[in-house]
Structure 1
Amino acid sequence: MNSTRPAMARIADVVASELEQRILEGSLKPGDKLPAERNLALELNVSRPTLREAIHKLVSKGLLHTRHGGGTVVTDRLQAPFTDPWKDMLRGHPLLQSDMLEFRHMLEGEAAKLAAERATDMDLARIDAAYTALEKAYASNDMNACVERDVAFHQAIADASHNTLIGQLTASLMQVIHGHVTDNLIHLHELPKQWEQLRTQHKAIWEAVHRREAEEASQVARDHIRFVRLSMEESAKLEDRRNSALRRLT
């Protein structure tokens, strides 16, 4: 009887679990390409056949996708079932935007609190880098960069909470409301006082997490989302007035 195959299968299960954990915690994100097989096998200290079997297990689960001649990439299976229907629902039912922001208010408040309590030195370094990039983007007139860096900053906070669901739900939620975030930043950019408030709020979140002031971090994060909510409501009213004026002209 050949006992090598069962042993290799058990090792492959362990490797698959390790890769799955990286996907769950956000170390490997949708669209990320796995390192070269040789390098990844060395990193995980397993044979290449064992690694291939582990990857095959995750491909079967739909977490990885192997491209012919293009390597293996992480799919969006953990996010798509949530984001796809909600994007359509938001387009058809604009009032749901308020509910989304109410949910974000709770989610990000808790994320900031846990990040202040649990962030490692590496997490803080990542948050620092995200905040610095956000400040550079805000100082420019590149709205695409502002949106990307804004999302990246909030995701860095969520990941530092070391709560897998908070990290995954934050990523999913940001995809759902991406268009609304873009519209809101464009609206705020036209209002210097509010634009400066936005920058001050992000700085307050960053500083509170760094000082490990959990309750303060939670409060300033919630204050920020409350400000965003009011700003989006004002932006929607302004757009409605513009459309009304256009209808009267025609």
Structure 2
Amino acid sequence: MSKPISNFQVPRISGAVAASLERRILEGSLKPGDRLPAERELAIELGVSRPSLREAIQKLASKGLVQSRQGGGTYVTDRLESTFLDPWQDMMGTHPNLREDLLEFRHMLEGQAAEWAAERATDADLTRLTQAFDAMNSAFDADDLNRQSSTDIAFHQAIGEATHNIVIGHLSAALLRLMHDNIRLSLEELKTIPAASSALKSQHAAIHDAILEHRPVEARSAAEAHIDFVRESLAQSLLSASRRETAERRLQADFSKSFTS
């Protein structure tokens, strides 16, 4: 009779469950801030016992991917993005030139993302992209600046996720969060430029349509043209803001001189 292989171990169920949930976080099915389904529901969905599920969630918690909150519930953290985002967020305020470097990188990233999305997007991806596109157009039509910036980010993130490249998906999310204030600033400044809103809508439509019709070369070109427009607009908005600040200082200085003379 042969002896059993002593060093062979059956993988723990909790490990497989943890890997399954981790994959959902990586691919973006579970996003930062999302609450995991109730323990009973999730155990049934995954076909495992509740003790195995608890052990799996603990594994994710030890990696910092999920955390329990007061009042109940387990939530996905933003660790995958914040580890990249936090140091850069602080430096953006003290090193304005970083904005241009980030936009240059975004030009490269989003051009590639649009190309791959056009090649790889599934029907479900295209449905999500169109939903994001429609929500963005609705925000622009309503002249709602907060919704415009949030839906603009959601649209570009949907493209990143449609590449089916996990790294691009998370890098895109981190960069868009980092650029959030600049996107809002750019949109606010663009309101003073005639036809700027319609230009943005046309650019987004060109990206959307090229991806929807699986035209990768056109998708890349449209995405890069859009980022070029954003770069130029942001540069103009920062210049305008600087001019306004200078004019305000001069006015204040004139006022002070006249008051003391």
TM-score tier after normalising by the smaller chain length: over 0.9
TM normalised by structure 2 equals 0.91
Shift in Å at residue 70 of structure 1? 1.7
Query: Cα deviations across residues 213-241 of structure 1 (Å, max 9, x unaligned)?
Result: 00110110000000000000000111111
1:98-117 matches, within 5 Å, as 98-117=100-119
CA distance in structure 1 between the partners assigned to 2:171 and 2:197 by the alignment? 27
Larger radius of gyration: 2
Note if 1:65 corresponds to 2:67: yes
Shift in Å at residue 175 of structure 1? 1.1
Which residue of 20, 27, 30 corresponds with 2:29? Answer: 27
Match of 1:36 in 2: 38
Note if 1:242 corresponds to 2:244: yes
CA distance in structure 1 between the partners assigned to 2:119 and 2:13 by the alignment? 35
Match of 1:3 in 2: none
Match of 1:204 in 2: 206
Instruction: Give 3-state SS (helix, strand or coil) of 1:73's partner.
Output: strand
Output the amino acid matched with 1:241: R
Shift in Å at residue 44 of structure 1? 0.9
Match of 2:197 in 1: 195
Query: Cα deviations across residues 164-203 of structure 1 (Å, max 9, x unaligned)?
Result: 0100001101111111011001111222312111110000
CA distance in structure 2 between the partners assigned to 1:32 and 1:55 by the alignment? 14
Note if 1:141 corresponds to 2:143: yes
Shift in Å at residue 140 of structure 1? 0.9
Question: What 5-or-longer segments of structure 2 have no aligned partner?
Answer: 1-8, 253-261
Which residue of 108, 118, 121 corresponds with 1:119? Answer: 121
CA distance in structure 2 between the partners assigned to 1:69 and 1:186 by the alignment? 38
Output the amino acid matched with 2:116: L
Which residue of 51, 71, 74 corresponds with 2:53? Answer: 51
Q: Between the two proteins, what is the percent identity of the paired residues? A: 52
Output the amino acid matched with 2:85: T
Instruction: Give 3-state SS (helix, strand or coil) of 2:197's partner.
Output: helix
Shift in Å at residue 144 of structure 1? 0.5
Shift in Å at residue 141 of structure 1? 1.9
CA distance in structure 2 between the partners assigned to 1:97 and 1:147 by the alignment? 17
Instruction: Give 3-state SS (helix, strand or coil) of 1:78's partner.
Output: helix
CA distance in structure 2 between the partners assigned to 1:218 and 1:10 by the alignment? 44
Instruction: Give 3-state SS (helix, strand or coil) of 2:68's partner.
Output: strand
Output the amino acid matched with 2:123: D
Output the amino acid matched with 1:201: Q
CA distance in structure 1 between the partners assigned to 2:131 and 2:143 by the alignment? 20
CA distance in structure 2 between the partners assigned to 1:133 and 1:94 by the alignment? 31
Match of 1:231 in 2: 233
